[in-house]
Structure 1
Amino acid sequence: MSAVFLYSIFSSVSLLMLWGVWTVAVGHIARFSFDRRILLAIYVIALIIWPLSEALLRLTHVSSAVEVGLPAVIPVAAPGGAVEGSYINIISIVMMVFYIAAALTALYFIYGSVRVLLLRRRAETIVLPSGIKAHIITGDFGSPFSFMGEIYLPAAMTGGENERMLLLHESAHVRLHHWVDLLLAHMVCVLQWYNPAAWKMLKAIKRLHEFEADARVISSGIDRRSYQLLLLKTAVAPSYSTITDNFNQSSLKSRIIMMQTPSPSPLRRLRALSIIPAATLAFVAVQLPAAKAFASEVAIAAVVSSANESAATLAGSDTVDKSPAAHGTNAEVYDHVEVIPEFPGGITALFDYLKKNINYPKSAMESGMEGRVVTRFVVSANGKVSDAEIIKSVAPELDAEALRVVNSLPDFTPGYNDGTPVACYFVLPVMFKLDSENKIVPAPSVFVDGKLYKGSAGDIAPETIERIDVIKNDPQYPNGKVMITLKK
């Protein structure tokens, strides 16, 4: 879940920067097809910058063979409880709001789509000579529009020259595949519902579509004045849905002005090159230390939330453990505290400690074993770590290593309730992850003069070797065989 949230944040920053630069540099739409391509390019660039930067970073960054993933440390929250003032909790709440709002935005667009599709129940469908379907709707539903490559036209507007002009306009939308642009723009609005640039670009795309369709109608030989009068007649008709290309959705004044405006100088296209430095700046921005730190905090919040769900069954419904003696302490052990204990140097220092002290078990590396081990332990009133246990297991080898490191943790600053230091539980998820480029490949079996050799082939002096044969397809030795014959 955190990955989608982070993708939304970083792509929205990129979109905002690109849209802002384009607006300042270009100013207004004039060359419709060209400007449309630029807007679509802005969408694509904004959506791929972050994953592209991460991919390039992985290609150029040489990491250690073992990476211990984001650790997260907080007391286990009892059902209904929370750690007040926790930055991690704030991020979790923000993520929850993000997903709820994104879902509501998506439902709004889906509702609009369903309303359009339901119009077909009272429609007569015809196929135009161009092969495009047109649905003639009985009753009053507003302005004509196109949706998903099909035309919707009120029966009251059929007949005569007006129908011909309306069909030419809507057919232009279909032929130019404007519905694909709208689908992309609406998806971005769902992902970035909080980003004003996403909504402004949706509006700009719709306006540009109308300019482009108007230009197609005029270039077909339709009398410009007659077409402008048709625009005036349909100006008061309501738009049936916000997700479609409606005939009267854009500013009437701006559309008429565009019909009278000559094409600008081709040199204006050079201004579009401004998105290149903007894209570079956005690429750099998502790699800034502050951006990386924010991504880490979000990932930590997601891990903590998941860890608390795993630990909830152990925490019980009370905020105080009723059997403290079972944990080797004479004090009450709290699940919920007002001030959480802190590792010396904070969570970043804890992360560094884990990376330096965890030794990936060799057997786990050879088998490609990965996963998140969730541990729980007690931080006493004097900051000592004790009673470590596994609450979410991955494998015995990884569990044992996680417990070893947890038991080696130095003293914490204890947690506090009402200004008094108290003992409390901590949950520490530790992610074991192997670098795909550096995973250990099991060594082949080595035979020397026909006998299995327990050492490494590298231990044998090269000058004593007469011949080396490699056998790859022996089912008894799936990792291969190296047959070494020594000089006699």
Structure 2
Amino acid sequence: MNPELAYFLKVNAGIALFYAFYRLFFYRDTFFAWRRTALLCFFILSFIYPLMNLQEWIKGHEPMVAMADLYASAVLPEFTITPTDIVNWKEIFILSSGYLYWGGVLLLLLRFFIQFISIIRLRLHCRSEIIRGTRIYQLPQASGPFSFFHWIFIHPTSHTNEELDEILTHELAHVRQHHSVDVLFSELACIACWFNPFVWLIKREIRSNLEYLADHRVIESGHNYQSYQFHLLGLAHQKAAANLSNSFNVLPLKNRIKMMNKKRTKEIGRTKYLMFLPLAALLMIISNIEVVARTTKSIAKEVIENVEQTVNERLTESPATEQVPPQDKKGVKQVTPTKKQTPAQVDEKDPVFEVVEDMPDFVGGLDGLMSYLSKNIKYPEAAIKKNIQGRVIIQFIVRKDGKVSKPEVIRSVSPELDAEALRVVSAMPNWTPGRQKGKLVSVKYTVPIMFRIPGNKATKPTDSSKATINEPQSQQKKPGDNTVFEVVEQMPTFPGGNQVMMEYIAKNMKYPSAAIKCGTQGRVILAMVIDKEGNVTQPRIVKSVSPELDAEAIRLVKAMPKWIPAKQRGIPVNVKYTLPIMFMMQ
């Protein structure tokens, strides 16, 4: 779920919760001024509370962290959706929902502006007059009196002098207390959240309460409340001249008359208005627990995506490519260059970044990249004769114009395979370039390419530190001894699978305080050996970020439970395993 949608859902949930709270505690009292403040605060807090950042406070309290972990595991499950069955329907639903929502917003905005313009036009065409020391604008025909900010519209000849006094007192209360601000605010909230019935209910309560305030002012000023009520009943048949305004007779008169006759609530009842403060605090805490849970889930997802390329690596019948590590593709949007994460090369005109907000993307995405490489790789005849196979890792730069430049081998297998990998990468079509803060930038990108001889399912064994590249097939060691393989028929798996590994890393990762103070973040890559019993042995750092993060990555790996060991030809074997762990600060 993207942050904008999460924010929008929280806003509407807050509106619903606040309305229920209002009906439960404030609906029947006569503290109209307090009620006005509370209703406006309900709207304002609904839009603000999802933006309040209490994540650091929550992370510092173990019960809150436990709640976030529970939320992440119980409320935020991961779903696997197959492209052929569900994705298209999901996309259609999301797209149609978006069109429906924005269509409703546009229609309500159009209605809002039509009403607003009608009031302006009425103001320009109505003749002004001073009555009882107050400037009013004479309506052209008999209509219900109303006010809009400091404009008061009346049809004077339709009312007696006593009725004019009551109307002016009522409308002046609207003007002096700036009730039109409440009206406009509630209208805009309804436009933004038009599909939420509770926003319309709160709008109705705001409009009703404003009339209660004005009616109360009329009674306080000394007018006879019975004659005033009869006056309201006499105007009930008149149509309101405008809706975007404070109308004298627009609301159901039964509620207004009942409220005028209602016994005043005791002053001690005002204290209950303080009860919504704990409710607002609780909403902010729950919102931030949800954010922390999603962050934990996101970090764990990044980690497990990095692991998947190794876990899912398998033998194929033709030269193929490994999946591009997700940390080098679009998806790591939380990380931006900081003081500790600078461009890869010092070039004021065109700096090259390691990680940006929007990573470069091959035309057609990851599937397009894999398809391109698989179709264009030509296994060198010399390598086939020498039975050479393995993984070549190429690093290159995707420039701002999308062109691939400066490809280089950062992990070699043989001159023949290295040259073929460089040829294929150099011939790539233009990419969709990366972006940082909305600007096109050059980004360093890494692609691992697996060369495997067709029909040769045996893999080359390695020792614990270095792969044996050119060892003839006849000299390959058989599984069952202390050989350490790089790729086997059945790769080792974490007990419980990828999801459990993701949860293990997320829950057990402890970001070093020294790294937090220095703002250090990045990707630590470890190499380790999963032995025949499933034990994690010989962990070492392949790519370092800082001593603190390296040490934490080593600690995480050493504390892992036993894995399900790898198998070659049905026999458990030792396998070299590479695990990237991403450390990211929010």
Task: Determine the structure 2 residue equivalent to 1:137.
Answer: 139
CA contact 2:10–2:50 (8 Å) conserved in 1: yes
**In structure 2, distance between residues paired with 1:438 and 1:12:** 35
Aligned-residue offset at 1:278:
2.2
Given candidates 108, 125, 132, the residue that maps to 2:111 is: 108
TM-score calculated relative to the size of structure 1: 0.59
Q: What SS does the aligned partner of 1:280 have? A: helix
CA contact 1:145–1:152 (8 Å) conserved in 2: yes
Task: Determine the structure 2 residue equivalent to 1:236.
Answer: 237
Task: Determine the structure 2 residue equivalent to 1:390.
Answer: 431
Question: 2:208 is matched by which residue type in structure 1?
Answer: R
Tell whether 2:167 aligns with 1:181. Answer: no
Structure 1 residues 27 and 346: alpha-carbon distance in aligned structure 2, compared to 1, 3 A threshold: farther
Question: 1:101 is matched by which residue type in structure 2?
Answer: G
Question: 2:136 is matched by which residue type in structure 1?
Answer: A
Structure 1 residues 344 and 30: alpha-carbon distance in aligned structure 2, compared to 1, 3 A threshold: farther
Q: How many residues of Structure 1 are paired with residues of Structure 2 in the alignment? A: 348
Structure 1 residues 258 and 373: alpha-carbon distance in aligned structure 2, compared to 1, 3 A threshold: same
CA contact 1:364–1:398 (8 Å) conserved in 2: no
Structure 1 residues 291 and 344: alpha-carbon distance in aligned structure 2, compared to 1, 3 A threshold: farther
Aligned-residue offset at 1:60:
8.3
Structure 1 residues 84 and 225: alpha-carbon distance in aligned structure 2, compared to 1, 3 A threshold: same
Structure 1 residues 237 and 409: alpha-carbon distance in aligned structure 2, compared to 1, 3 A threshold: farther
Structure 1 residues 354 and 175: alpha-carbon distance in aligned structure 2, compared to 1, 3 A threshold: closer
CA contact 2:45–2:280 (8 Å) conserved in 1: yes
Question: 1:233 is matched by which residue type in structure 2?
Answer: G
Question: 2:170 is matched by which residue type in structure 1?
Answer: H
**In structure 1, distance between residues paired with 2:155 and 2:99:** 42
After superposition, residues 87-126 of structure 1 pair within 5 angstroms as 87=90, 90-126=93-129
Pairwise CA RMSD of aligned residues? Answer: 4.7
CA contact 1:5–1:98 (8 Å) conserved in 2: no
Task: Determine the structure 2 residue equivalent to 1:376.
Answer: 362
Aligned-residue offset at 1:205:
0.8
**In structure 2, distance between residues paired with 1:100 and 1:353:** 30
Question: 2:183 is matched by which residue type in structure 1?
Answer: L
Task: Determine the structure 2 residue equivalent to 1:31.
Answer: 31
Aligned-residue offset at 1:388:
7.1
After superposition, residues 7-22 of structure 1 pair within 5 angstroms as 7-22=7-22
Aligned-residue offset at 1:9:
2.6
After superposition, residues 248-259 of structure 1 pair within 5 angstroms as 248-259=249-260
Aligned-residue offset at 1:212:
0.8
After superposition, residues 263-342 of structure 1 pair within 5 angstroms as 263-289=264-290
CA contact 1:135–1:153 (8 Å) conserved in 2: yes
Task: Determine the structure 2 residue equivalent to 1:147.
Answer: 148
Question: 2:152 is matched by which residue type in structure 1?
Answer: I
Structure 1 residues 213 and 155: alpha-carbon distance in aligned structure 2, compared to 1, 3 A threshold: same
CA contact 1:178–1:209 (8 Å) conserved in 2: yes
After superposition, residues 166-205 of structure 1 pair within 5 angstroms as 166-205=167-206
Aligned-residue offset at 1:217:
0.7
CA contact 1:361–1:398 (8 Å) conserved in 2: no
Question: 1:19 is matched by which residue type in structure 2?
Answer: Y
Deviations 1:238-280, CA, capped at 9 Å, x for gaps: 1233321111122212211222222111222232233123213
Aligned-residue offset at 1:42:
1.4
Question: 1:199 is matched by which residue type in structure 2?
Answer: W
**In structure 1, distance between residues paired with 2:352 and 2:11:** 33
Deviates more, 1:3-12 or 1:193-202: 3-12
User: Relative contact order (alpha carbons < 8 A, sep ≥ 6): 1 or 2 greater?
Assistant: 1
Task: Determine the structure 2 residue equivalent to 1:361.
Answer: 343
Ranges in structure 1 where 5+ consecutive residues have no aligned partner: 63-73, 298-328, 330-342, 411-434, 441-488
Structure 1 residues 83 and 149: alpha-carbon distance in aligned structure 2, compared to 1, 3 A threshold: farther
After superposition, residues 24-63 of structure 1 pair within 5 angstroms as 24-53=24-53, 56-57=54-55
Q: What SS does the aligned partner of 2:52 have? A: helix
**In structure 1, distance between residues paired with 2:128 and 2:363:** 69
CA contact 1:173–1:179 (8 Å) conserved in 2: yes
Aligned-residue offset at 1:34:
1.4
Tell whether 2:88 aligns with 1:85. Answer: yes
Task: Determine the structure 1 residue equivalent to 2:464.
Answer: none
Question: 2:141 is matched by which residue type in structure 1?
Answer: G
Deviations 1:432-473, CA, capped at 9 Å, x for gaps: xxx9x9599xxxxxxxxxxxxxxxxxxxxxxxxxxxxxxxxx
Aligned-residue offset at 1:96:
3.3
Aligned-residue offset at 1:382:
12
Ranges in structure 2 where 5+ consecutive residues have no aligned partner: 61-80, 299-317, 336-340, 374-427, 451-515, 522-586
CA contact 2:363–2:369 (8 Å) conserved in 1: no
Deviations 1:57-84, CA, capped at 9 Å, x for gaps: 379889xxxxxxxxxxx9xx9xxxx995
CA contact 1:361–1:397 (8 Å) conserved in 2: no
**In structure 2, distance between residues paired with 1:90 and 1:50:** 25
Structure 1 residues 249 and 353: alpha-carbon distance in aligned structure 2, compared to 1, 3 A threshold: closer
CA contact 1:7–1:50 (8 Å) conserved in 2: yes
Structure 1 residues 354 and 248: alpha-carbon distance in aligned structure 2, compared to 1, 3 A threshold: closer
Aligned-residue offset at 1:361:
3.1
Aligned-residue offset at 1:196:
1.4
CA contact 2:139–2:153 (8 Å) conserved in 1: yes
Q: What SS does the aligned partner of 1:390 have? A: coil
Q: What SS does the aligned partner of 1:286 have? A: helix
Deviations 1:76-133, CA, capped at 9 Å, x for gaps: x9xxxx9953645543443333222222212111111112222134411135666x54
TM-score calculated relative to the size of structure 2: 0.50
Deviations 1:275-304, CA, capped at 9 Å, x for gaps: 12321332233334489759x99xxxxxxx
Task: Determine the structure 2 residue equivalent to 1:261.
Answer: 262
CA contact 1:373–1:392 (8 Å) conserved in 2: yes
Q: What SS does the aligned partner of 2:272 have? A: helix
CA contact 2:332–2:358 (8 Å) conserved in 1: no
Identity %: 20
CA contact 1:139–1:155 (8 Å) conserved in 2: no
CA contact 1:146–1:246 (8 Å) conserved in 2: yes
CA contact 1:25–1:274 (8 Å) conserved in 2: no
Task: Determine the structure 2 residue equivalent to 1:221.
Answer: 222
**In structure 1, distance between residues paired with 2:247 and 2:440:** 63
